[in-house]
């Protein structure tokens, strides 16, 4: 088995097939999984790929931290500040002078790494360069400063807590604002009652906090451990309640049903466009909605969600359109209980 992704191909070229690596924030590549002793990632879906091969896979927020065997290799993320956070995290978690290699694509910012390492007081040696990727070697240093990754800011009358790598870090996304305006209008047009709401892809928790502040029972999920922790911190900062879970779309929500699912779904995996999670969000929504339950989501106008909504719900409406983003609304028609049961079983088989 050979590596498929450029950064992993560079690792294969440098380390060979005897490689025993401990990747940090890795990419999904079968060769890398095969040659990993363990891994650390904020992405619960990626961790599942390693766990399926009986490899240790943990979140950076898991405690207690246990160092694993293998050469530490940090995959440089596209979010510059997140890369710095990972370097500082490694320096806090690992003994001083532990060898760490850093790999990444040139278009992903790996060329910045020598300067960043210098600013952190870490050495830097270039090991290899191929496939428009570079591999650098460094060693951990002692860091006694507190974790500075968390950022607090005010928006929509709330305190939001964010972290590098979390969607919309440090600001309120234009699409989210349009979605909340549409949700407010739609809910104001209906009899006021507390709804059981799912915030799918919660990010820093702005949608969850906004809904919880209006008395709704909120469950928030995200594939990212950084987002999950940010959402929990946002709810706590505003003295609001809500359940927040790591979940690869609906995987952590077996048997749960909601009156309303709200989402500003991502369509990027690092630099690649990926519609898979958003497609699952739409296609599996009926099996997680109550009778007459609703789905509201915002998306860039060019994304192919209308067809998915039409096939899944039979019809949908556009609640808002500012030429860059559209807010879509679909509602599940009431069905006989037996029909609902069969529909959920079919959805479960698709998963």
What is the Cα–Cα distance from 42 to 47, expressed in whole angstroms?
Answer: 8
pLDDT at 120: 96
Please tell me whether residue 72 adopts helix, strand or coil conformation. strand
Mean of per-residue pLDDT scores for the chain: 92
pLDDT at 283: 96
What is the Cα–Cα distance from 340 to 28, expressed in whole angstroms?
Answer: 36
35 and 8 Cβ atoms separated by less than 8 Å: no
Q: From 325, 322, 251, select the one nearest 281 (Cα to Cα).
A: 251
pLDDT tens-place string over residues 110-124:
999 999 999 999 999
What is the Cα–Cα distance from 175 to 181, expressed in whole angstroms?
Answer: 10
Domains of the chain: which residue ranges?
A: 6-139, 151-350
pLDDT tens-place string over residues 259-274:
999 999 976 454 455 5
For domain 6-139, give the fold.
Rossmann fold (3.40.50)
What is the Cα–Cα distance from 300 to 313, expressed in whole angstroms?
Answer: 20
- The alpha carbon of 347 is separated from its chain's Cα centroid by a whole number of angstroms, namely 23
Q: Which two tokens stand for residue 255?
A: 């048997």
Mean pLDDT of 309-313: 96
pLDDT at 190: 73
Q: Is the dihedral of CA 9, 11, 16, 22 positive or negative?
A: negative
234 and 206 Cβ atoms separated by less than 8 Å: yes
Q: Which two tokens stand for residue 47?
A: 């961790």
Q: Which two tokens stand for residue 67?
A: 């160092």
Q: Which of 13-22, 141-150, 243-252, 284-293 has the lowest mean pLDDT?
A: 141-150
Q: List Cβ neighbours of 250 (8 Å cut-off, separation of 6 or more).
A: 280, 284, 287, 288, 351
Q: Is the dihedral of CA 336, 338, 341, 347 positive or negative?
A: negative
What is the Cα–Cα distance from 72 to 123, expressed in whole angstroms?
Answer: 15
Residues forming beta bridges with residue 273, ordered by sequence position: 268
pLDDT at 267: 67
The DSSP annotation for 118-149 comes to: HHTT---EEEEEETTEEEEEEE-----SPP--
CATH of domain 151-350: 3.40.50.150
Whether this prediction's pTM lies above 0.85 is answered by yes
Q: What is the CA radius of gyration of the chain?
A: 22
Topology alike, domains 6-139 and 151-350: yes
pLDDT tens-place string over residues 329-350:
999 876 544 444 444 444 444 4
pLDDT tens-place string over residues 159-214:
999 999 998 888 899 999 999 999 999 988 776 789 999 999 999 999 999 999 99
């Amino acid at each position: 088995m050979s590596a498929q992704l450029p950064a992993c191909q560079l690792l294969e070229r440098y380390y060979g097939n005897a490689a025993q690596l401990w990747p940090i924030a890795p990419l999904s590549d079968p060769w890398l999984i095969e040659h990993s002793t363990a891994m650390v990632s904020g992405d619960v879906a990626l961790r599942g790929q390693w766990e399926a091969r009986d490899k240790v896979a943990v979140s950076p927020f898991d405690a207690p931290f246990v160092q694993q065997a293998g050469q530490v290799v940090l995959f440089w993320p596209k979010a510059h500040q997140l890369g710095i956070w990972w370097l500082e995290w490694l320096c806090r978690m690992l003994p001083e002078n532990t060898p760490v290699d850093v790999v990444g694509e040139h278009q992903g910012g790996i060329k910045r790494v020598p300067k960043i390492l210098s600013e952190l007081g870490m050495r830097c040696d270039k090991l290899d360069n191929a496939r428009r990727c570079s591999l650098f070697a460094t060693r951990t240093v002692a860091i006694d400063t507190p974790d500075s990754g968390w950022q607090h800011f005010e928006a929509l009358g709330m305190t939001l807590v964010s972290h590098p790598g979390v969607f919309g870090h440090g600001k309120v996304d234009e699409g989210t604002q349009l979605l909340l305006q549409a949700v407010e209008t739609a809910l104001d047009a209906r009899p006021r009652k507390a709804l059981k709401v799912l915030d799918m892809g919660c990010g820093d928790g702005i949608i969850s906090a906004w809904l919880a502040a209006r008395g709704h029972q909120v469950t928030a999920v995200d594939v990212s451990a950084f987002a999950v922790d940010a959402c929990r911190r946002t709810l706590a900062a505003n003295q609001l309640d809500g359940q927040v879970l790591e979940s690869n779309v609906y995987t952590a929500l077996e048997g749960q049903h909601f009156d309303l699912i709200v989402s500003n779904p991502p369509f990027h995996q690092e630099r690649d466009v990926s519609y898979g999670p958003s497609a699952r969000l739409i296609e599996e929504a009926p099996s997680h909605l109550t009778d007459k339950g609703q789905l509201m989501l915002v998306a860039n106008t060019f994304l192919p969600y209308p067809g998915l909504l039409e096939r899944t719900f039979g019809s949908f409406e556009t609640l808002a359109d500012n030429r860059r983003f559209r807010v879509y609304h679909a509602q599940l028609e009431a069905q006989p209980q037996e029909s609902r049961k069969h529909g959920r079983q079919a959805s479960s088989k698709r998963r």
